Amino acid sequence: MPDNKLDLLKTAAGQEVSRTQFLYTGCQIALAVSLGMASFSCANESTPDGVQFSGTLTLSAAQKSSLDSNLFLNLEQGVIVIKDGSVYRAFSRLCPHESGQITARSWLSLECERHLGQVFNQNGAGNGFRTSVALKSYTVTDNAGTLTISG
Ligand code: FES
């Protein structure tokens, strides 16, 4: 309890509290708001931007073998290749939201590293967590087992 009336303050709800209680409660609210905003906005803001691919890229035999067994392949040149049944598809690793890097976790799930929760499916369609814009897709040419991506 406060020692005298001068130390009492009224809250917005009309409740009398001591100056110490008032400041303590205000600090708790400010801290909770700032921590909440920080955890929401800095998901992975420090991750590097994705790489913009253009041109032509032919997979090595080892890359093709890895793709055929894992059904997805993350390439540092800025391309993801997936195998959907007998069909190969290639997508950009540059996120259409804020240019984060996309990494395939499986052939069905391509995730943005900057804003975790933003996922693109095997057709490149976004789930709407941050964007519904599809990933840029590239042409995959299968020449007797040699895959070439062009875009
Ligand atoms: S950069 Fe925001 S979802 Fe990819």
Answer yes or no: do 74 and 107 share one domain: yes
| Interval 82-131: pLDDT, tens | 999 999 999 999 999 999 999 999 999 999 999 999 999 999 999 999 99
Q: Would you say the CB of residue 104 lies under 6 angstroms from ligand 1?
A: no
Q: State the number of CA atoms in the 13 A half-sphere of 14 facing the CB.
A: 0
Answer yes or no: do 18 and 83 share one domain: no
User: Which one, of 4, 95, 120, 104, lies nearest residue 44 by Cα?
Assistant: 95
Q: Would you say the CB of residue 64 lies under 6 angstroms from ligand 1?
A: no
Q: Would you say the CB of residue 130 lies under 6 angstroms from ligand 1?
A: yes
Q: Would you say the CB of residue 93 lies under 6 angstroms from ligand 1?
A: no
Answer yes or no: do 91 and 122 share one domain: yes
What is the phi/psi pair of residue 32, to 5°? -65, -40
Atom of ligand 1 nearest to the CA of 99: 1
Answer yes or no: do 62 and 125 share one domain: yes
Answer yes or no: do 35 and 65 share one domain: no
Q: Report the C-alpha gap between 87 and 95 in whole angstroms.
A: 23
Tell whether 47 is covered by a domain.
Answer: no
Tell whether 20 is covered by a domain.
Answer: yes
Q: Would you say the CB of residue 102 lies under 6 angstroms from ligand 1?
A: no
Which domain range does residue 89 map to?
A: 56-150
Tell whether 128 is covered by a domain.
Answer: yes
Which CATH number does the domain housing residue 90 bear? 2.102.10.10
Answer yes or no: do 82 and 139 share one domain: yes
Answer yes or no: do 130 and 79 share one domain: yes
| Interval 24-79: pLDDT, tens | 544 344 434 444 444 444 467 788 888 999 999 999 999 999 999 999 999 999 99
Answer yes or no: do 79 and 10 share one domain: no
Q: Residue 137 Cα, ligand 1 centroid: separation in angstroms?
A: 17
Tell whether 28 is covered by a domain.
Answer: yes
- Locate tokens 């130390």: which residue? 7
